[in-house]
Structure 1
Amino acid sequence: MFDISWSVKIGQYRLTMIDSVEIIRSVEKLSDTAVVTLPASCFNKALEVESKIKRSDKVTIELGYNNNLVSEFEGYLDRIATDDGSIRLHCEDALFLLKKQVADKQLVNPDITDILQYILTGTGFSLKCDYSFKYDKYIIKGETAYQVLKKIQEETKANIYLKGNELHVHPQYTQVFGEAVYSFQDNIESSDLEYKNADDRLFEVTVEGKGKDGKVVRETVGQKGGDSVTIKIDGVSDKATLRNLATEQLKVKSYTGYSGSFTGWLIPYCDAGYKIFL
């Protein structure tokens, strides 16, 4: 028999009641997030949280069974929302600390490593990047480090995320941080999975860049006869960069294996970046 256990700390307080906790960790998302939902009242008395906790307070969330707790989220309180008769505490991982404006700068022919090292200067975060993507020119004006990161993630399609105080930037799904074994008979509650062979997933990816002269530079990879996608990006004319982006997107779209999702429990422990065996 397993009884759910939990511990939620915000600032100097440990919560004694919650309605729900939702944590999202994904290598496809820039930051891990959590939403802690509290009842609006207790014993017919309205809960007053704004006077106790504030934005930027440290947040830790542990979950488990039978008092065997595992850390599931560490970050900071981003905002407090009161609606639908409940109180929602929106939290974000340490990338929250990068929501500060950086000095304006224009970088000529930079690789994303040059841009990231610039915005991380003085933040206490180190960089681990094995993804190359060259811009003709990159301009930072009136932006926070977080906004620059988000733009780079959207344009390069790289996996960008934190592990401790290290900012990781990698081609999609190339880093494995652990393994977990699941069985449809033992520890999968529900699933929406489909198994396909790469030969059955014909896909063509075209990436279009535009250089300083306004001319379109185009790179295409994959096979005709199936689905296709075109990605357009300004300020990039390096053909190797465009082909690399197209190739990486093709790997994500056309592969042999499962696609979809399934629902399990807290056992076994599983995290973003884990390899799953079914």
Structure 2
Amino acid sequence: MVFCCRITIESAADQSKKFFDAASSIEIEKTWRKFTNTAVLQLPKGVYYQVGNTMFAMESIKELFKTGDLIKIELGYNRELKTEFQGYIARIQPTIPVEFHCENEMYKMKRNNVSIHIEDATVRQILQAAAPGYEIECADEIYGDFSMAETTSAKVFDELKKKAGLYTFFRGKRLICGLQYSDDKLPTVIPQFEFGKNIIDNSLQYIAPEDCKLKIYGKSIQRDGSVIVYDRGDEGGDIERWNQDETTKEQLKINIDRRYDNAKTKGGYAGTVTSFGFPVVEHGQTIRVLDPGIYEKRDSMHYVDEVKISVSASGGYRRVSTVGKFVTEKKLLK
């Protein structure tokens, strides 16, 4: 397979586009656990760029590129390109090679100004006020009274995470909240990774049930509109959300405690799987790990929490997938 890439940088001032088909190195990080997906791109000093059908030698970085310019990174093999990153140039490091530090759509959410005051707000209403104009997909929940003045959208998202355990992130221009493992627009095909075939390296370790971290947020909406909440679990682990209408606080606590105690009896794997650039994997997808070894057989499915992509002359095109929550329900393999 022959590696190929296409980097498109569009001027925020006049929408003119410049294209590159080479880079010294590329590092991309994508995860639902952080608000922002990032990319670091290094371009050699003597690189040529294309405008229309004409090639030019890159001379002055300051004249060609500015912070806020749009960037798209496409990677692949044998002329089959997949978009791995879209966002904005957040910072330009004038080193040799020149280094572009890029952020996805969250770049704009850190630099705007919003004020939100909503009584009995739903999560959707909060997001619509914080990020007007964006396609929003979110958990269908009532949050309650919400008030933040003279702040940024990113700080609003942080408040949702702290108070309700709702993680907010972008996929392209879609703003997603609380649906890290249930995005129905992700590919349904489950990528398979098998030891001895397409797994280059791994750091998978079995985690005993008592060491698995899980936090469950429970909520019950009463007939009068009031909201009862109860949560139990460990910070820094998997997040689950339970909504039960017209349940007493005592019953909600019993249900959440039962679910938590049952989940803590199941172990699973944690760590990373390093593979080639293809198959493409995005965070939130399910992957299947197969080990046909004689002495140790492993066949498990996991949600992916984070993906790191690297391109370099020495390492080639690589993808490191961090496996997260163990998938216990049966899924169709294609």
Pairwise TM-score range, normalised by the shorter structure: 0.7 to 0.9
SS in 2 for 1:74: strand
Q: 1:169 aligns with which of 163, 171, 177?
A: 177
Alignment of 1:143-182 (within 5 A): 143-175=151-183, 177-178=186-187, 179-182=190-193
Q: 1:54 aligns with which of 58, 66, 90?
A: 66
Distance in structure 1 (CA, Å) of the matches to 2:4 and 2:115: 47
CA RMSD of aligned residues (A): 3.7
Alignment of 1:15-164 (within 5 A): 15-39=20-44, 41-42=45-46, 47-83=59-95, 85-121=96-132, 124-130=133-139, 132=141, 134-135=143-144, 137-164=145-172
Alignment of 1:222-233 (within 5 A): 229=235
TM-fit CA distance, 1:219: 4.6
Match of 1:183 in 2: 194
Distance 1:60-1:67 versus aligned 2 partners, 3 A rule = same
Distance 1:28-1:131 versus aligned 2 partners, 3 A rule = farther
Higher strand share: 2
The one-letter amino acid of 2:97's match is S
Q: Which runs of 5+ in 2 are unaligned?
A: 11-16, 48-56, 218-227, 238-248, 290-334
Q: Which runs of 5+ in 1 are unaligned?
A: 208-216, 223-227, 232-238
Match of 1:274 in 2: 285
Match of 2:7 in 1: 8
Deviations 1:1-58 (A, max 9, x none): x23211111121112542111111212222322111123x339x99521210112222
SS in 1 for 2:157: helix
TM-fit CA distance, 1:154: 4.5
Distance 1:8-1:144 versus aligned 2 partners, 3 A rule = same
Deviations 1:235-265 (A, max 9, x none): xxxx79x97xx88x969x9554321112111
Match of 1:236 in 2: none
Contact 2:9 2:69 in 1 (8 A): yes
Distance 1:218-1:154 versus aligned 2 partners, 3 A rule = closer
TM-fit CA distance, 1:171: 4.8
Distance 1:59-1:116 versus aligned 2 partners, 3 A rule = same
Distance 1:202-1:92 versus aligned 2 partners, 3 A rule = closer
TM-score normalised according to structure 2 size: 0.61
TM-score normalised according to structure 1 size: 0.72
Identity, % of aligned positions? 23
Distance 1:103-1:94 versus aligned 2 partners, 3 A rule = closer
Contact 1:37 1:86 in 2 (8 A): yes
The one-letter amino acid of 1:6's match is C
Distance 1:156-1:75 versus aligned 2 partners, 3 A rule = same
Distance in structure 1 (CA, Å) of the matches to 2:134 and 2:215: 34
Match of 2:240 in 1: none
Distance in structure 1 (CA, Å) of the matches to 2:59 and 2:21: 12
Distance in structure 2 (CA, Å) of the matches to 1:260 and 1:87: 33
